[in-house]
Structure 1
Amino acid sequence: MKYTIRFPFLRNNTSICEIKDETGGIIGYIQRYHANWTQRTINLIFDNFVNNVKVYDSDKQLVLHVVEVNNVKTLIVERWRILIGDQEHKMESKTKIKTNPQFLYTKNDEQVWIKKDFADRIVRFSINNKKIAEAIPAGLMPPQSNLVTFDIFDSTLDISEVAALYFILALKN
Protein backbone atom coordinates (compact mmCIF):
# COMPACT_ATOMS: atom_id res chain seq x y z
CA MET A 1 0.00 0.00 0.00
CA LYS A 2 1.10 3.54 -0.70
CA TYR A 3 0.37 6.51 1.53
CA THR A 4 1.46 10.15 1.49
CA ILE A 5 1.93 12.80 4.16
CA ARG A 6 3.01 16.43 3.80
CA PHE A 7 4.93 17.21 6.98
CA PRO A 8 5.34 20.81 8.28
CA PHE A 9 8.18 22.92 6.91
CA LEU A 10 9.34 23.99 10.39
CA ARG A 11 10.37 21.17 12.73
CA ASN A 12 8.94 22.89 15.83
CA ASN A 13 5.51 23.24 14.17
CA THR A 14 2.65 21.43 15.91
CA SER A 15 0.08 21.58 13.10
CA ILE A 16 -1.95 18.52 12.13
CA CYS A 17 -0.88 16.69 8.95
CA GLU A 18 -3.21 14.54 6.84
CA ILE A 19 -2.40 10.92 6.02
CA LYS A 20 -3.72 10.13 2.53
CA ASP A 21 -4.07 6.80 0.75
CA GLU A 22 -3.43 6.03 -2.94
CA THR A 23 -6.73 7.60 -4.02
CA GLY A 24 -6.11 10.82 -2.10
CA GLY A 25 -8.66 10.05 0.62
CA ILE A 26 -7.82 11.09 4.17
CA ILE A 27 -7.38 8.03 6.38
CA GLY A 28 -5.84 9.72 9.41
CA TYR A 29 -3.88 12.57 10.93
CA ILE A 30 -0.48 12.94 12.57
CA GLN A 31 0.66 15.71 14.90
CA ARG A 32 3.72 16.59 16.89
CA TYR A 33 2.91 18.10 20.28
CA HIS A 34 4.49 19.47 23.44
CA ALA A 35 3.13 18.09 26.71
CA ASN A 36 3.65 21.40 28.53
CA TRP A 37 5.23 24.84 28.17
CA THR A 38 8.51 23.56 29.63
CA GLN A 39 8.96 21.10 26.74
CA ARG A 40 8.13 23.84 24.23
CA THR A 41 10.74 26.16 25.77
CA ILE A 42 13.39 23.43 25.93
CA ASN A 43 12.74 22.57 22.27
CA LEU A 44 13.16 26.19 21.25
CA ILE A 45 16.48 26.45 23.07
CA PHE A 46 17.98 23.01 22.34
CA ASP A 47 16.43 22.25 18.91
CA ASN A 48 14.06 19.29 19.25
CA PHE A 49 15.28 17.93 22.55
CA VAL A 50 11.86 16.38 23.33
CA ASN A 51 9.69 14.84 20.60
CA ASN A 52 6.17 13.52 21.15
CA VAL A 53 3.76 12.47 18.38
CA LYS A 54 0.08 11.56 18.21
CA VAL A 55 -1.64 9.73 15.36
CA TYR A 56 -5.40 9.91 14.85
CA ASP A 57 -7.78 7.97 12.61
CA SER A 58 -10.12 9.64 10.10
CA ASP A 59 -12.64 10.38 12.90
CA LYS A 60 -9.89 12.12 14.92
CA GLN A 61 -9.82 9.36 17.54
CA LEU A 62 -6.38 8.70 19.05
CA VAL A 63 -4.78 5.58 17.53
CA LEU A 64 -1.12 5.84 18.51
CA HIS A 65 0.76 7.94 21.03
CA VAL A 66 4.56 8.31 21.07
CA VAL A 67 6.05 9.75 24.27
CA GLU A 68 9.75 10.45 24.72
CA VAL A 69 11.23 9.14 27.97
CA ASN A 70 13.16 11.91 29.72
CA ASN A 71 15.57 11.04 32.51
CA VAL A 72 19.30 11.04 33.15
CA LYS A 73 19.87 7.76 31.25
CA THR A 74 18.15 9.07 28.12
CA LEU A 75 20.64 11.90 27.78
CA ILE A 76 22.96 9.27 26.25
CA VAL A 77 20.52 6.85 24.60
CA GLU A 78 17.17 8.32 23.53
CA ARG A 79 14.07 6.22 24.24
CA TRP A 80 10.38 6.44 23.44
CA ARG A 81 7.23 4.66 24.62
CA ILE A 82 4.74 3.84 21.86
CA LEU A 83 1.21 3.38 23.14
CA ILE A 84 -1.24 1.60 20.81
CA GLY A 85 -4.51 1.07 22.62
CA ASP A 86 -3.65 -0.83 25.80
CA GLN A 87 -0.32 -2.09 24.46
CA GLU A 88 3.00 -0.41 25.16
CA HIS A 89 6.01 -0.85 22.89
CA LYS A 90 9.49 0.62 23.04
CA MET A 91 11.85 2.34 20.65
CA GLU A 92 15.41 3.48 21.25
CA SER A 93 18.13 5.13 19.25
CA LYS A 94 21.00 2.88 18.18
CA THR A 95 22.74 5.64 16.21
CA LYS A 96 26.52 5.56 16.41
CA ILE A 97 27.23 8.09 13.66
CA LYS A 98 24.92 11.06 13.15
CA THR A 99 24.93 10.58 9.35
CA ASN A 100 23.58 7.02 9.69
CA PRO A 101 20.64 7.19 12.12
CA GLN A 102 19.31 3.83 13.35
CA PHE A 103 16.42 3.12 15.68
CA LEU A 104 15.27 -0.18 17.15
CA TYR A 105 11.51 -0.53 17.61
CA THR A 106 10.43 -3.50 19.73
CA LYS A 107 6.84 -4.56 19.14
CA ASN A 108 5.79 -7.67 21.06
CA ASP A 109 8.58 -10.12 20.10
CA GLU A 110 9.50 -8.46 16.80
CA GLN A 111 12.50 -6.16 16.48
CA VAL A 112 12.03 -3.60 13.72
CA TRP A 113 15.14 -1.72 12.57
CA ILE A 114 14.63 1.77 11.17
CA LYS A 115 17.66 2.87 9.17
CA LYS A 116 18.71 5.72 6.95
CA ASP A 117 22.05 5.42 5.17
CA PHE A 118 24.45 8.24 4.41
CA ALA A 119 23.55 10.21 1.24
CA ASP A 120 20.33 8.19 0.87
CA ARG A 121 16.97 9.85 1.36
CA ILE A 122 15.04 6.58 1.82
CA VAL A 123 14.26 5.40 5.35
CA ARG A 124 13.91 1.61 5.50
CA PHE A 125 12.01 -0.47 8.06
CA SER A 126 13.17 -4.09 8.31
CA ILE A 127 12.77 -7.25 10.39
CA ASN A 128 15.58 -9.82 10.13
CA ASN A 129 16.98 -7.98 7.08
CA LYS A 130 13.61 -8.27 5.31
CA LYS A 131 12.25 -4.90 4.17
CA ILE A 132 8.71 -4.37 5.46
CA ALA A 133 8.26 -0.65 4.71
CA GLU A 134 10.05 2.40 3.39
CA ALA A 135 9.57 6.15 3.43
CA ILE A 136 10.64 8.17 0.39
CA PRO A 137 10.75 12.00 0.41
CA ALA A 138 9.65 13.56 -2.90
CA GLY A 139 12.59 15.93 -3.31
CA LEU A 140 15.99 16.89 -2.00
CA MET A 141 15.05 20.17 -0.31
CA PRO A 142 11.91 21.66 1.24
CA PRO A 143 9.12 22.11 0.31
CA GLN A 144 9.35 19.05 -1.96
CA SER A 145 11.08 16.93 0.71
CA ASN A 146 8.20 17.58 3.13
CA LEU A 147 5.98 15.35 0.97
CA VAL A 148 6.80 11.76 1.96
CA THR A 149 5.49 8.60 0.30
CA PHE A 150 5.22 5.49 2.45
CA ASP A 151 5.30 2.00 0.90
CA ILE A 152 4.19 -0.78 3.23
CA PHE A 153 5.07 -4.31 2.09
CA ASP A 154 4.09 -6.32 5.17
CA SER A 155 1.17 -6.24 7.62
CA THR A 156 3.49 -6.26 10.67
CA LEU A 157 3.32 -2.44 10.86
CA ASP A 158 0.44 -0.26 9.79
CA ILE A 159 0.64 3.27 8.41
CA SER A 160 0.11 4.93 11.80
CA GLU A 161 3.19 3.20 13.25
CA VAL A 162 5.38 3.73 10.20
CA ALA A 163 4.43 7.42 9.93
CA ALA A 164 4.99 8.10 13.63
CA LEU A 165 8.35 6.31 13.70
CA TYR A 166 9.49 8.12 10.55
CA PHE A 167 8.38 11.47 12.00
CA ILE A 168 10.45 10.87 15.15
CA LEU A 169 13.47 9.91 13.05
CA ALA A 170 13.03 13.01 10.88
CA LEU A 171 12.71 15.28 13.92
CA LYS A 172 15.81 13.84 15.59
CA ASN A 173 18.07 14.12 12.51
Structure 2
Amino acid sequence: MHQPHYILLPVNPIFIAVSLVGAFLLNMLPWGGLAGVPDFVALVLVFWSIHQPRRVGIGVAFFMGILMDVHDATLLGENALSYTLLSYFAIMIHRRVLWFPMSTQALHVLPLFMLMQAVQVVIRWIVSQQAPGWFFFSESVVATLLWPVVTWLLLAPQRRAVNRDDTRPI
Protein backbone atom coordinates (compact mmCIF):
# COMPACT_ATOMS: atom_id res chain seq x y z
CA MET A 1 0.00 0.00 0.00
CA HIS A 2 1.98 2.97 1.26
CA GLN A 3 5.72 3.16 1.44
CA PRO A 4 7.11 3.09 4.98
CA HIS A 5 7.77 6.38 6.75
CA TYR A 6 11.38 6.81 7.70
CA ILE A 7 12.58 8.64 10.74
CA LEU A 8 14.31 11.73 9.39
CA LEU A 9 17.24 13.53 10.91
CA PRO A 10 16.70 17.14 11.96
CA VAL A 11 17.16 19.57 9.12
CA ASN A 12 20.20 21.80 9.16
CA PRO A 13 19.20 25.50 9.03
CA ILE A 14 22.19 26.16 6.78
CA PHE A 15 20.79 23.63 4.29
CA ILE A 16 17.45 25.46 4.28
CA ALA A 17 19.24 28.75 3.55
CA VAL A 18 21.38 27.15 0.83
CA SER A 19 18.31 25.63 -0.83
CA LEU A 20 16.53 29.00 -0.83
CA VAL A 21 19.60 30.74 -2.27
CA GLY A 22 19.92 27.98 -4.88
CA ALA A 23 16.27 28.42 -5.87
CA PHE A 24 16.81 32.18 -6.11
CA LEU A 25 19.84 31.60 -8.35
CA LEU A 26 17.79 29.26 -10.56
CA ASN A 27 15.19 32.00 -10.91
CA MET A 28 17.95 34.42 -11.91
CA LEU A 29 18.99 32.30 -14.90
CA PRO A 30 18.11 33.92 -18.22
CA TRP A 31 15.10 31.78 -19.07
CA GLY A 32 13.86 34.79 -21.01
CA GLY A 33 10.28 34.59 -19.82
CA LEU A 34 9.77 31.14 -21.29
CA ALA A 35 6.34 29.76 -20.59
CA GLY A 36 6.35 26.69 -18.41
CA VAL A 37 9.50 27.49 -16.43
CA PRO A 38 8.43 27.20 -12.80
CA ASP A 39 9.13 29.65 -10.03
CA PHE A 40 11.79 27.72 -8.12
CA VAL A 41 11.66 30.03 -5.12
CA ALA A 42 7.93 29.38 -4.76
CA LEU A 43 8.52 25.64 -5.09
CA VAL A 44 11.18 25.58 -2.38
CA LEU A 45 9.14 27.91 -0.15
CA VAL A 46 6.15 25.59 -0.34
CA PHE A 47 8.34 22.59 0.42
CA TRP A 48 9.93 24.15 3.51
CA SER A 49 6.63 25.68 4.66
CA ILE A 50 5.11 22.21 4.60
CA HIS A 51 8.07 20.30 6.06
CA GLN A 52 9.50 22.93 8.43
CA PRO A 53 6.77 25.51 9.17
CA ARG A 54 8.51 26.77 12.30
CA ARG A 55 11.72 27.60 10.48
CA VAL A 56 10.43 28.85 7.13
CA GLY A 57 7.30 30.90 7.42
CA ILE A 58 5.64 34.03 6.21
CA GLY A 59 8.58 36.31 7.09
CA VAL A 60 11.02 34.30 4.98
CA ALA A 61 8.45 34.21 2.17
CA PHE A 62 8.03 37.99 2.32
CA PHE A 63 11.80 38.54 2.23
CA MET A 64 12.23 36.18 -0.73
CA GLY A 65 9.33 37.92 -2.47
CA ILE A 66 10.96 41.31 -2.07
CA LEU A 67 14.19 39.88 -3.49
CA MET A 68 12.29 38.46 -6.48
CA ASP A 69 10.47 41.78 -6.97
CA VAL A 70 13.79 43.59 -7.15
CA HIS A 71 15.28 40.97 -9.46
CA ASP A 72 12.29 40.84 -11.83
CA ALA A 73 11.85 44.64 -11.73
CA THR A 74 8.15 44.11 -11.11
CA LEU A 75 5.82 46.15 -8.95
CA LEU A 76 7.38 46.15 -5.48
CA GLY A 77 5.32 43.78 -3.36
CA GLU A 78 3.78 41.67 -6.13
CA ASN A 79 5.89 38.58 -5.48
CA ALA A 80 6.05 39.38 -1.77
CA LEU A 81 2.26 39.27 -1.48
CA SER A 82 1.92 36.13 -3.56
CA TYR A 83 4.73 34.34 -1.66
CA THR A 84 3.31 35.26 1.74
CA LEU A 85 -0.13 33.94 0.74
CA LEU A 86 1.54 30.83 -0.68
CA SER A 87 3.45 30.25 2.55
CA TYR A 88 0.41 30.95 4.72
CA PHE A 89 -1.78 28.41 2.92
CA ALA A 90 1.07 25.86 2.78
CA ILE A 91 1.47 26.15 6.56
CA MET A 92 -2.29 25.77 6.95
CA ILE A 93 -2.30 22.40 5.18
CA HIS A 94 1.13 21.12 6.21
CA ARG A 95 -0.11 18.44 8.62
CA ARG A 96 -2.62 17.08 6.14
CA VAL A 97 -0.30 16.99 3.13
CA LEU A 98 2.42 14.94 4.82
CA TRP A 99 0.07 11.99 5.37
CA PHE A 100 -0.52 11.46 1.66
CA PRO A 101 1.65 9.72 -0.93
CA MET A 102 3.72 11.87 -3.26
CA SER A 103 1.18 12.01 -6.11
CA THR A 104 -1.57 13.21 -3.81
CA GLN A 105 0.79 15.73 -2.22
CA ALA A 106 1.40 17.13 -5.68
CA LEU A 107 -2.36 17.49 -6.19
CA HIS A 108 -2.57 19.37 -2.89
CA VAL A 109 0.12 21.89 -3.83
CA LEU A 110 -1.24 22.56 -7.33
CA PRO A 111 -3.99 24.92 -6.06
CA LEU A 112 -1.36 26.76 -4.01
CA PHE A 113 0.73 27.46 -7.09
CA MET A 114 -2.37 28.40 -9.08
CA LEU A 115 -3.43 30.82 -6.32
CA MET A 116 0.01 32.41 -6.30
CA GLN A 117 -0.12 32.98 -10.04
CA ALA A 118 -3.72 34.19 -9.90
CA VAL A 119 -2.69 36.85 -7.35
CA GLN A 120 0.12 37.95 -9.66
CA VAL A 121 -2.27 38.14 -12.64
CA VAL A 122 -4.79 40.20 -10.66
CA ILE A 123 -2.10 42.62 -9.49
CA ARG A 124 -0.74 43.02 -13.01
CA TRP A 125 -4.22 43.54 -14.39
CA ILE A 126 -5.06 46.19 -11.77
CA VAL A 127 -1.83 48.07 -12.50
CA SER A 128 -1.57 47.76 -16.28
CA GLN A 129 -4.86 46.23 -17.54
CA GLN A 130 -2.89 43.46 -19.25
CA ALA A 131 -3.46 39.75 -18.66
CA PRO A 132 -0.81 37.22 -19.70
CA GLY A 133 -3.24 34.54 -20.95
CA TRP A 134 -4.05 31.02 -19.84
CA PHE A 135 -0.70 29.56 -20.87
CA PHE A 136 0.82 31.57 -18.01
CA PHE A 137 -0.59 28.98 -15.59
CA SER A 138 1.51 26.22 -17.15
CA GLU A 139 4.20 27.21 -14.65
CA SER A 140 1.98 25.87 -11.87
CA VAL A 141 1.55 22.56 -13.65
CA VAL A 142 5.29 22.20 -14.23
CA ALA A 143 6.00 23.09 -10.59
CA THR A 144 3.51 20.43 -9.52
CA LEU A 145 5.20 17.88 -11.76
CA LEU A 146 8.55 18.81 -10.17
CA TRP A 147 7.18 18.36 -6.63
CA PRO A 148 8.35 14.70 -6.25
CA VAL A 149 11.84 15.56 -7.54
CA VAL A 150 12.19 18.56 -5.23
CA THR A 151 10.91 16.52 -2.28
CA TRP A 152 13.41 13.75 -2.97
CA LEU A 153 16.29 16.23 -3.35
CA LEU A 154 15.53 18.33 -0.28
CA LEU A 155 14.82 15.36 2.02
CA ALA A 156 17.93 13.43 0.92
CA PRO A 157 20.30 14.89 3.55
CA GLN A 158 17.83 14.01 6.32
CA ARG A 159 17.53 10.34 5.30
CA ARG A 160 21.11 9.32 5.95
CA ALA A 161 21.98 7.43 9.10
CA VAL A 162 23.97 9.19 11.80
CA ASN A 163 26.07 6.09 12.50
CA ARG A 164 25.89 3.75 9.54
CA ASP A 165 25.43 0.13 10.64
CA ASP A 166 24.55 -2.67 8.20
CA THR A 167 22.86 -4.75 10.92
CA ARG A 168 20.46 -2.04 12.04
CA PRO A 169 17.14 -1.92 10.11
CA ILE A 170 16.55 1.86 10.46
TM-score normalised according to structure 2 size: 0.28
More helix by share: 2
Task: Give the TM-score normalised by structure 1.
Answer: 0.28
Larger Rg: 2
Larger strand percent = 1
